[in-house]
Amino acid sequence: MKKDIETKIAVFPMPVLMIAAYDENGVVNVMNAAWGMISDMDKITLFIDEDHKTTKNIRAVKAFTVSIADKAHMAAADFFGIATGNKMADKFTRTGFHAVKSSHVNAPIIDEFPIAMECELLEIVQTENLHAVVGKIVNACADEKVLDDKGKVDPSKINALIFDQFQSGYYVVGEKVGKAWNAGAPLMKKK
């Protein structure tokens, strides 16, 4: 039996995405965002407010990267969510992290995070109920240590963080328990 609980705006799991962009002077800013997802075969949508420094930077330079945070870099990933670039100009340098300029878009790739998607700004959607940054993914790159022997990303090697809004926790993605588009196949045959 289900029990009513306090209304909690939460879906579990949520990603821990590191959104990085240069400002108009080429200064790196990174923010932690859980409200984002792939929204088409080559698009990503980030539900981030207009007042974020990162949003302002994306608007100015028309590009950004999205990295997946991992357990090894949890403290810095959390810091990127606590500190605001609007009030802390040295937010990125304070972590000691390193960035290289993408060869595909005008945006920084953060070396320490294992996977990055390099994106061009397509549009910013703003309605009464929604503010979303939509980007076209023009390239993705990954550390060799998270690739399998066929050159594909192996999720079990990433130690990707996931966010729990119910109790404000970070968790690590665990074991593979099934194959998508296969686990439910026996039910297709059922009458």
Model pLDDT for residues 84-96, shown as the tens digit of each residue: 999 998 899 999 9
In this model, does residue 9 exceed pLDDT 80? Answer: no
- CA distances to 24, 35, 43, 102 from 76, in Å: 24, 18, 26, 21
Mean pLDDT calculated for residue range 15-36: 96
SS3 91: helix
16-29: b (≥16 Cβ within 10 Å) or e: bbbbbbbbeeebbb
pLDDT at 4: 82
Cα angle 160, 75, 172 (rounded to 5 degrees) comes to 25
Work out whether strand 36-40 and strand 43-46 pair parallel, antiparallel, or are unpaired. Answer: antiparallel
CATH 2.70.170.10 holds for 14-189:
no
Q: What is the per-residue pLDDT across 159-176, written as a single tens digit (0 to 9) for each?
A: 999 999 888 999 998 888
Q: What is the DSSP letter of 153?
A: B
